[in-house]
Amino acid sequence: MKTSKVFSYLALFGEITALPTGITSSSGQLQTLESSTALNKISVRDKLSRATANELLDGPCRSVTMLFAKGTGEKGNLGTGSSPGPALSDELKTSLGEDKVAVQGIDYKAKLTGFLKGGDIEGSNELIEMANIAATKCPDSKLVLSGFSQGAQVVHRAVGGLSSDVSSKISAVVLFGDPFIGENVGNLPESSVLSICNEKDAICRSGPSITGHLKYPQRAREAADFVISKLN
């Protein structure tokens, strides 16, 4: 993994004092760290109730099942704050109907060490398990996979471990702030994958700024429109 992305993630989560050997910082990057960390610490208490969804495990089968993997340090299994998970869930349900979409978050630790290793393996295994459950419990449901930041890494790893039968049920994949942007998602056709990368997001593009990494909920409508176009 490029050291610039490693630095950006360390900055984003206030880990600058623990930089690996060989990674340096400039005053400009440190300014970015200060402003971005402040943004990331905005209160999310009003969103905690929407941070977890277990509708695949606890609810009936629905026409669409979305599995979402949160980013590093996010609460619940959908995430809060900068996570687009709750917003994407809302947009899909608004468009398709509450009773048509089951949303299931992926429970995993989402620690920084997982990102540095290319995505938490336990998270990928959990996503594989949820996809298998969806395919068995709700064989007629269309699968949608989505992930934010490290969650996008988790999706990449998981899809490679799915059987062809389960993979064939995937209608769409949406990735936000993907560190692996430009890489294939398993053997899925490129046309079924949307990778959203904001300006000023060094996690998925070159550059020193990471402020764009905190603004993906604003693009949930775009993501939902793509998913809906692939369901028809």
Domain boundaries, the chain: 47-231
Residue of 107, 120, 178, 201 marked catalytic: 201
- The interaxial angle of helices 150-159 and 121-137, nearest 10 deg, is 60
* DSSP-based three-state secondary structure for 176: strand
Please calculate the CA angle 194-198-199 and round it to the nearest 5 degrees. 140
Is 213 known to be catalytic? yes
Q: Confidence band (pLDDT; 50, 70, 90) for 167?
A: very high
Is 149 known to be catalytic? yes
**Mean residue pLDDT across the chain:** 86
Residue of 8, 82, 149, 209 marked catalytic: 149
DSSP 168: T
| The CATH homologous superfamily of the domain defined by 47-231 | Alpha/Beta hydrolase fold, catalytic domain (3.40.50.1820)
Determine which of 42-51, 161-170, 194-203 has the lowest per-residue pLDDT on average: 42-51
Report the run of H or E that residue 196 belongs to, with start and end: strand 193-196
pLDDT at 18 over 70: no
Rounded Cα distance between 209 and 193, Å, is 25
* DSSP-based three-state secondary structure for 133: helix
Q: What is the pLDDT of residue 25?
A: 42
Residues 6+ apart with CB under 8 A from 94: none
For tokens 């060094």, the residue is 202
Read off the pLDDT of each residue in 139-159 and give the average, rounded to a whole number.
98
Residue of 36, 89, 120, 213 marked catalytic: 213
